[in-house]
């Protein structure tokens, strides 16, 4: 069922501030297939706009820990070829970028290696375990 714009605006206006990391479900280790519909974030626009949005998502940084890892990609938007057709994004802001953020479970080997070689992630691991409902 599709929500109307009015319904979506009403719901948005009634939301209390919340930490997205608390409810962000990690994608299982070695998950195959499309990740469409998983808990992830895509932000596009000018670098200033992206930075403004990301400045409100800093708690997600704790998703990079011994148990989970962040998929994080930030790149400039460029014209591209899709199915043999050149696509130019004429409405893109000057210097437009795109950012993708997703949370993934580490495999046991990755978790062990992270625990041994990335001691700087100890604090993030503890904070993640305290807040994320999927961290049990």
* Average pLDDT over every residue of 94-111: 88
* CA-based torsion, 132, 133, 135, 136: positive or negative: positive
Pick the closest to residue 110 from 33, 29, 56, 49 (CA basis): 29
- pTM equals 0.79
Report helix, strand or coil for 13: helix
Spell out the domain ranges in the chain: 39-131
Residue-wise pLDDT tens digits, 57-99: 999 999 999 899 999 999 998 877 778 887 777 677 778 999 9
What integer pLDDT is reported at residue 84 of this predicted model? 82
Select the more confidently predicted residue: 6 or 34: 6
């Amino acid at each position: 069922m599709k929500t109307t714009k009015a319904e979506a605006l009403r719901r948005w206006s009634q939301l209390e501030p919340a930490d997205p990391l608390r409810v962000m479900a990690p994608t299982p280790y070695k998950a195959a297939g499309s990740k469409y519909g998983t808990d992830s974030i895509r932000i596009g626009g000018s670098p200033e706009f992206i930075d403004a949005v990301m400045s409100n998502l800093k708690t997600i940084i704790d998703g990079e820990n011994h148990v989970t890892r962040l998929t994080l990609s930030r790149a400039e938007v460029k014209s591209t070829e899709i199915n043999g057709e050149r696509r130019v994004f004429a409405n893109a802001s000057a210097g437009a970028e795109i950012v993708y953020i997703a949370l993934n479970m580490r495999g046991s080997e990755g978790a062990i290696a992270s625990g041994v070689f990335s001691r700087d992630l100890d604090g993030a691991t503890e904070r993640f375990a305290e807040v994320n409902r999927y961290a049990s």
